[in-house]
Amino acid sequence: MQKDVEVGRIAMAVPVIIARALEMFLKTLLTKTCLVTQSKPSTVMSVAHMKQCIESEKLFHFLKEAAERATSTAAQRDNRGLSMWPLYRTKQSEHSVKKTTDVVEVAPRRSVASDESSSSESELYICL
């Protein structure tokens, strides 16, 4: 995959590695922000909770400026006097999720050269 002629080529594994690193980063950020939200008497994660998480964790120190901009933007009002988040839910509502009872097992895929035991590739599963 070639991105820029002057820079050179990008290996095919690079986008997958970057996506996985981003997934791990966001999982850490959201998990720690969730802990901050649960420590308060709140059930909705807000920008203030994320800002508090960013300020308390050294890992997220580089996000301080972005958090400051986000909180100042969230506090602004538009010219009609409405808040930036006019569709913000004020009531809690419960949503049920139907559980499926049918579980289907899928046999692992085998490569064309399945007799080779020295395969260094492993599959990456991303669950959303």
Beta carbons of 97 and 86 less than 8 angstroms apart: no
CB-based contact 49:37 (threshold 8 Å): yes
Residue 25 has pLDDT above 60, yes or no: yes
List CB contacts of 70: < 8 A, sequence separation 6 or more.
Answer: 47, 50, 51
What are the structural domain ranges in the chain? Answer: 2-75
- Residue-averaged pLDDT of the chain: 72
pLDDT class for 119, splitting at 50, 70, 90? very low
pLDDT band at 116 (very low <50, low <70, confident <90, very high): very low
The pLDDT of 26-32, averaged and rounded, is: 94
Closest Cα to residue 53, out of 25, 77, 72?
25
CATH of domain 2-75: 1.10.20.10
pLDDT band at 43, cuts 50/70/90?
A: confident
What pLDDT sits at residue 99? Answer: 56
Residue scoring higher pLDDT (28 or 80)? 28
Q: Give the distance, in angstroms, between the CA of residue 64 and the centroid of all CA atoms in the same chain.
A: 18
Q: Does the pLDDT value for residue 79 go beyond 60?
A: no
Whole-number CA gyration radius for the chain: 22
Q: pLDDT category, 92, cuts 50, 70, 90?
A: low
